Amino acid sequence: MHEVPTPILYNLEGIEGALDWEKLLKLKTEEGSFLTSPSATAFAFMQTGDHNCLGYLNYIVTTFNGGAPTVYPIDIFARLWAVDRLQRLGISHLFDKQIGECLEYVHRFWTRNGVFSGRKATVCDLDDTSMGFRLLRLQGYNVSADVFKHFKSNDNKFYCLGGELNASPTTLLNLYKAAQVRFPGETVLEEAENFSFEFLKEKISHNEIVDKWVRSKDIAGELKFGVEIPWYACLPRLEARSYIEQYSGANDVWIGKTFYRVAEISNNHYLEVAKLDFNECQIQHQLEWTNMLKWWKKCKLEQYGLKREDLVVTFFLAAASIFEPGRSAERCAWTKSRAIIQLLQVYFNNIAISREKREAFLSTFKGNSYNGLIDRLDEMGKGLYWIIREFIYELSIDTFQKLQRDICQQLTYMWETWLIESFDIIENGSFPNQGAFIANIINLCSGNYLSVSNEFLSHEESFKHISDLTNKICLHLYRYEKNKETTNGKPMRKMGRINSMEIEESMQDLLQLVVQNEPVNDILNQNVKQTFLKVAKAFYYTAYVDYKTLNTDIAKVLFEPILL
């Protein structure tokens, strides 16, 4: 302890026996504290009279009007946990600027060993490092997974601090979450995920949920949700609904040398805003669902093979992934595009089986309603033709005011191009290219593609890469989902994940492609890439959950308001 900084520095006042203060004073932080502990620093000052220690203590007493907290500063911890709470409560979209500033601040103090709760500390801990790693990586910062090697022991366990005897469930939950945002080849995170998953599963099964860092309303519920729903299947509105019910607000109590509260992390204002925001979004979603049902009935989609239950699942996925009230057109684009794709699968698999009939449908779509080609189609073909045409027209009108541009031509081009590709590659009753197509329609409606041509999107290399990868993932997940029908609706899982190494590796590839920053002139900005990831995660969710969970989640997100 005299040679290198260790967690023992935090508790110097409790150590009996002779201490070599000449060596220990070299282990202070730049601000004069011993691991951000006022009491340990006060003890050191009493023993040595060190002026740097006195400067830290004077600053503490002045800042807190004669008092002193159990630990200070906690600027890294407070910022990270505040961002985490805002994101999990579903209100981060209201604080984009502040979240960006918080994470930029944390990144300034990020080291190759991670971070501690306070800036410029001489020791790093697994809890703050795990939280920081996950939030920074998902925000696009370049952080190395090698930081976790410093918390791994020779017996392949992970410790929050050196010398730790009892691991904390919340710390291991943060490690588990961090490990799930790994890139291909990051074996230390794979080891961390396996270790933390087994630890958490055992704690939950034995109801050993007491945490040594915090007393909160429903830690057991947080652990259960975190273990049962992997990050790939965790849709934003579903997570918000769960955490709003688990969050303690101002009643959270943190445990150090004393009990203390951190208002930046735990306060009733967050909870109040989260409840209001959730219910406001839900009301908007219900209005949209009413209109979606009217469309389903007007177009007689059930006669064509689209059940009401299938439509509500698709709308739920869109609303749970893109939930903000002002993004109605994107939810509509997602839902109706996926619904039409499902109808086309029925049509091409059961009716327009021959190449001649498929080419007739395509020729009609490439022409117009006045060229006489439509009369060659069967009744379902005619119906689908008009459904697609009306969808394009109505979506163009709905987006015109926001975008100040008519996207009808681009939408038509996208549908025509996709139909041409789809006729020859339909496999096992499904279109292998539907994931990227849905993402493209959403991006067009959001305004992300207004500055580029259709030809550019078709040939740009990085765009083709993310499209092909998304299609590959969504096709595998679609087949995986269909396999549940032969296993009584129960998906095959392993270690809290879908039991398919190919799917997991592809999701890692996609995540890396999405969060890593591209050149400034690259069309694949963060907004565009995040849409591809949202669509892939929605496919992952439906493949992962069983039917009972799906129905429960739909009710909670779309139809059951939160009590204020």
Tokens of 548: 């009972």
* The pLDDT value given to residue 482: 80
Average the pLDDT over 456-475 and give the result: 85
pLDDT of residue 33: 93
Phi first, then psi, for residue 37 (nearest 5°) are -105, 110
Residue 505: count other Cβ atoms within 10 Å of its Cβ.
12
Kindly report the average pLDDT of the chain as a whole number. 90
d(CA 412, CA 95): 36
What pLDDT score was predicted for residue 15? 85
From CA 186, how far away is CA 148, in angstroms rounded? 10
In terms of CATH, what superfamily is 75-266?
Answer: Terpene synthase, N-terminal domain (1.50.10.130)
Residue 551's Cβ-count burial label (10 Å; 0-12, 13-18, 19+) is middle
Q: What angle do the packed helices 501-515 and 526-544 form, to 10 degrees?
A: 160
pLDDT of residue 448: 83
| pLDDT at residue 452, rounded to an integer | 64
Quick one: CA dihedral 119, 123, 128, 129, positive or negative? positive
Q: Given this model, what pLDDT does residue 375 score?
A: 77
The reported pTM is 0.93
The distance in angstroms from the start CA to the end CA of the chain is 51
pLDDT exceeds 60 at position 357:
yes
According to CATH, where is 1.50.10.130 located in the chain? 75-266
Unique residue bearing structure tokens 């919340």:
170
Instruction: Identify the CATH number of the domain defined by range 272-559.
Output: 1.10.600.10
pLDDT in tens, 198-211: 999 999 999 988 88
Question: Rounded to the nearest 5 degrees, what angle is found at the Cα of 390, between the Cα atoms of 446 and 398?
Answer: 35
Separation CA 454–CA 412 (nearest Å): 11
What pairs with residue 255 in β-bridges?
A: 259
CA dist 373 and 226 (Å) reads 54
Distance (Å, rounded) from C-alpha 463 to C-alpha 448? 13
What confidence score (pLDDT) does residue 382 get? Answer: 92
DSSP code for 430: B
148 burial (CB, 10 Å; 0-12 / 13-18 / 19+) is buried
Residue 286 pLDDT level (bands cut at 50, 70, 90): very high
Q: What are phi and psi of 20, to 5 degrees?
A: -90, 90
Look up residue 230 and give its DSSP letter.
-
Give the model confidence (pLDDT) of 80-129 as tens digits.
Answer: 999 999 999 999 999 999 999 999 999 999 999 999 999 988 889 999 99
More confident residue, 295 or 12: 295
Cβ neighbours, 10 Å, residue 529: 27
For residue range 208-238, what is the model confidence (pLDDT) as tens digits? 888 889 999 999 999 999 999 999 999 999 9
DSSP lists the bridge partners of residue 284 as none
Compute CA distances 52 → 26, 42, 61, 524, whole Å. 11, 11, 15, 50
Report the residue count for the chain. 564
Q: Burial letters for 433-454: b for 16+ Cβ neighbours within 10 Å, e otherwise?
A: bbbbbbbbbbbbbbbbbeeeeb
Q: How confident is the model at residue 490 (pLDDT cuts 50, 70, 90)?
A: low
Q: Where in the chain is CATH 1.10.600.10?
A: 272-559
Instruction: Provide the token pair at 66.
Output: 């004669």
